[in-house]
Structure 1
Amino acid sequence: MRWVIVVFALFAFMAVGSLAQLDTLPFLFVSKSVSDDYVVAGNSVEFTVTVYNYGQSPAMDVTVTDILVDGTTRTKRVEMLSFGESAVLKYTVIPKELGNYVVGVAEVTYALEKGKPATHRAYSNVIRESNAHFLGEKYDDESFRGVVSVVTRERYDRLHKRYVREIVAYSILCVIPALFPFFVYRAEQNQVELLIRRSKLNK
């Protein structure tokens, strides 16, 4: 599932970039991700907020703000974000209670010109939103959309064993079609060699 999400994100970035080239103003795209959808209670998990400027002009006085569930904030300030540049805010939290650790969207404020008020805003995605898109509209995504699942060590280990099995299964499914032409070639080659040996024996 992870590689499908990565491909989906790459296509989204390309589409956003092509649309932004038509606009002469700053065009900020904000992406928020988490290092793991599941975390053991008492362990740390890392969040990453990345701001890309796909517009044709720089964004000034850029401030990235992320408010945690306990009310504390994480911020990063950048004086200028030019076309093609990105700014990254990273931080870790340690959820201690089992259940869902609610994660909000990050907010970015910026100005169009230096010295002007930073009244323009952009917002990040909801974390694990791409998982919901992958599973389809009929799937109930309220159980995981916008949260990190805080679980026990036993539950975490079981989940990761399942992911390993899925990766192995996907790998096998990818390898079989890739190797099929080789097996066909070897079978044909063996058939030719057998015919050559038979012709030599008949002589």
Structure 2
Amino acid sequence: MYNETALELLNDLELSADKSYPALETLSESSTKYLRDLKVNLKTALSSENLGEKDALLTAYAVAVNAKNAPLQEAFKKRATAAGANTEEVAEAAAVASLLSANNILYRFRHFCDNKKYSDMPARIRMNIMMSPVLGKELFELISLAVSAVNGCQACVNSHEHSVRELGASEDRVFDAIRVAAIVVSVDRIIA
């Protein structure tokens, strides 16, 4: 059913090879070298020295929640917990994905729409979680930035990038979080 590289990828994610993942099966049946690249890209992104294992996995988990990908949510939650994330941190990463989905839609609409009246209207979205996040303000903003980048909200990306840099994150740390998000989206397309 799956070739060796596909099995290694599933093993890395601690996912069962007994489950059918149609796109992964298609790639397994071909001679493409893409699966090897994807496997290496995922390993490299999650082992970023600028993020650390726990922060990289919490970011990956939030992106998997944003993608509504149950197998990847399970995989990254398990690995994040093994890397030291507690229940509250994992839950807050899921909350970030949920909150940013709403914010990204609202602010993307304001950006796309020519009617500037909407920009003056209050958002009326409660965001108390942002005041004192369990993850700490910097990681909360970093995960918010990654989810916003995935969702394509320019205003949110700029706002969260500014906040996270003000909180002391290096550009290398920011870029590595975005790389994690990008690679998780790539994996999401293959394992769903």
Q: Structure 1-normalised TM-score?
A: 0.26
Normalized per residue, which structure has more strand?
Answer: 1
Structure with more relative contact order (C-alpha pairs < 8 Å, separation 6 or more): 2
Structure label with greater radius of gyration: 1
Normalized per residue, which structure has more helix?
Answer: 2
